[in-house]
Amino acid sequence: MGVNEVENTIYIRMRHRLQVRPHDSIKLQDVAQLIAEDSLLEKVKNSIVYKVSEKDQNIIILDVMKVIPILTNGVGQINIEIIGPTQTIIEVVYKKIGVSIPLFILIWLLLFFGAALAIMNFHEDVSMQAVHQRIFKIITGKQSVKPLILQIPYSLGLGLGMILFFNHVFKKRLNEEPSPLEVEMFNYQQDLDRYVIINENEESMKRLHDH
């Protein structure tokens, strides 16, 4: 009996995210990592767990609870061990929509002038001009209305500081760690994923009394 149990065990780890095209049939081995005895693995790994159809929107949550019946229907009584996440986020990728260049340029210019205006408002708000005049006076002892020798390096340093913080000079990284921006993008994606896992999965919530 002990030997039988080991032979009939399948370990399943659902993948976190899967990208498919519309009308694809999703096989078990696409949606999960599997470990099992070879003959068992051959039998189950190509079984279809989901068919993407017209009525699906671009995100489908496939819960492991939907996968288990398909497995047991195929091969009968087996011992299933689930490891890791209990659902996969299936992303249906429709025709790749390219980024429109005019829109991109528009956003670029929007950010450019927005950033320029914001820094000018900041300088006025904190009386940066007066502070710079004062620093000029302290260091050199002379009076200057426009201490550009201080202000031009300041302006270039401003850009340098931002690049330093984000750890990127265009595509080139300054060191191998992820930048705060990449971490922030990751966190945002994780939040979105957690939201869809709960809200797009009709089995995750149940009302006993429908009021």
Partner 1 sequence: MIINIVFTIFIGLAGGIAVGSGFVAFLTVLGIIPRLTQLTKTMKMIHWYEWSVVFGAVAGTIASLRDPILYLPSLLLIPLGLAAGVFVGLLAAALTEVLNVFPILAKRVRIEDKIMILMMAFVFGKIFGSLFHWMYFVNE
Do the Cβ atoms of 5 and 79 come closer than 8 Å? Answer: yes
Tell me which stretch binds partner 1 (CB under 8 A): 21-29, 44-52, 147-155, 198-206: 147-155
Q: Which member of 107, 199, 203, 204 binds partner 1 (CB under 8 A)?
A: 107
Closest CA to 11 of 47, 27, 29, 35: 35
Question: Roughly how many angstroms between the first and final C-alpha of the chain, as a whole number?
Answer: 50
Tell me which stretch binds partner 1 (CB under 8 A): 19-27, 34-42, 112-120, 198-206: 112-120
Asked if 35 touches partner 1 (CB under 8 A), the answer is no
Asked if 114 touches partner 1 (CB under 8 A), the answer is yes
Of 11 and 154, CB closest to partner 1: 154
Asked if 113 touches partner 1 (CB under 8 A), the answer is yes
Tell me the Cα Rg of the chain: 29
Tell me which stretch binds partner 1 (CB under 8 A): 6-14, 19-27, 67-75, 121-129: 121-129
HSE value, Cβ hemisphere, 13 Å, CA-based, for 153: 4
Asked if 120 touches partner 1 (CB under 8 A), the answer is yes
Asked if 104 touches partner 1 (CB under 8 A), the answer is yes
Q: Which member of 7, 42, 184, 203 binds partner 1 (CB under 8 A)?
A: 184
Helix (H) or strand (E) holding 118: helix 101-125
* DSSP per-residue letters across 50-72: EE--TT--SEEEEEHHHHHHHHH
CA-to-CA separations, 100 to 97, 103, 105, in angstroms, rounded: 9, 5, 9
Asked if 195 touches partner 1 (CB under 8 A), the answer is no
Q: Round to whole Å and give the CA distance between 59 and 194.
A: 13
Of 69 and 180, CB closest to partner 1: 180
Binding site for partner 1 (CB under 8 A): 97, 99, 103-104, 107-109, 111-120, 122-123, 129, 134-142, 145-168, 170-171, 174-175, 177, 180-181, 184-185, 187-189
